[in-house]
Each structure stands twice: as structure tokens, then as C-alpha cells.
């Protein structure tokens, strides 16, 4: 199933958009979130967590690389460590665990790593537009 589309969304409608993405991913999935600093990657993860019924405070795992929430949501931030650091940390194996793996800063090099290990993934590229965001979505386009 290869779906590509764009959606413009503001913060008030972000939970509904996250619910839409969750339904497209199914019961599990790896999702790369890409965008400039302060583009809304963590805001999307917070909205996604709400769709899972998680009440915990969600924060970016900038220095710890991974935050896990209720064995349902795995939130990665690979800005500091990059693909090599992610690989050296052994976290590539974590992607096999059932649940939603949302990875901030998953660039082309990281995509090559996922291809190498046969990990199927989806992407969302986020562009800022004043108080809204343009989301370019590719669901299960890569394997």
C-alpha cells in the first residue's frame, strides 16, 4: 500500500490528523518525522500519543535518543547521534518491537540504514506555514 499526499493542518486539528496517520499505519509502524528545527515534529508525537490514550507528558528524547511510552509508543530523536550512533546503540533491533516507532530527524542516510536492515517505514515531511504546517505524507512507500 503506497499512499502519498499532502495535508495542511493547524494545532487545533493535529490530533485528528494524527488519528488519520495511525489508521493508515495499522497496529504498528515506523514513521520518520522530518522538518526544520521547531517545525512541529514533537508536537505531532504528542498528538499521536493522545490517539493512543497516553496521558504521560511527552518530551523530545534529544539526548537519551529514545523515550518509551506504555510499550505502545517509541519516540526517537536521532539529531545528536545520527545514523551511526543509532546503529551503535543497538536501537535498530528495537524497531522490530510491536508498536509505533516515531523517529525525529530520519534523513536520507537513516533511510539507507532502514533499507539495509529491511525495515519498512513511512515518512512525514513537515514544512512551516505561519501558524499551520504542511505535511507531506508517504505511507509504507519504502521497504
- Tens of pLDDT, residue by residue over 99-120, are 999 999 999 999 999 999 999 9
* Structural domains of the chain sorted by starting position, each given as residue range(s) with its CATH number in brackets: 3-142 (3.40.50.300)
- Interval 129-142: pLDDT, tens: 988 999 999 998 56
CA–CA separation, 96 and 18 (whole Å): 22
- Nearest partner of 107 among 86, 89, 128, 134, judged by Cα: 86
pTM of the full structure: 0.93
Amino acid at each position: 500500500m503506497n499512499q502519498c499526499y499532502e495535508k495542511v493542518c493547524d494545532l487545533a486539528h493535529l490530533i485528528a490528523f494524527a488519528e488519520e496517520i495511525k489508521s493508515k499505519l495499522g497496529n504498528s509502524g515506523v514513521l520518520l518525522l522530518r522538518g526544520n528545527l521547531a517545525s512541529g515534529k514533537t508536537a505531532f508525537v504528542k498528538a499521536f500519543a493522545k490517539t493512543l490514550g497516553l496521558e504521560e507528558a511527552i518530551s523530545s528524547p534529544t539526548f537519551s535518543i529514545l523515550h518509551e511510552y506504555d510499550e505502545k509508543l517509541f519516540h526517537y530523536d536521532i539529531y545528536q547521534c545520527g545514523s551511526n550512533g543509532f546503529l551503535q546503540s543497538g536501537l535498530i533491533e528495537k524497531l522490530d518491537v510491536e508498536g509505533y516507532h516515531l523517529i525525529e530527524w530520519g534523513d536520507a542516510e537513516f533511510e539507507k540504514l532502514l533499507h539495509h536492515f529491511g525495515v519498512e517505514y513511512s515518512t512525514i515531511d513537515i514544512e512551516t506555514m505561519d501558524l499551520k504546517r504542511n505535511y507531506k505524507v508517504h505511507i509504507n512507500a519504502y521497504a
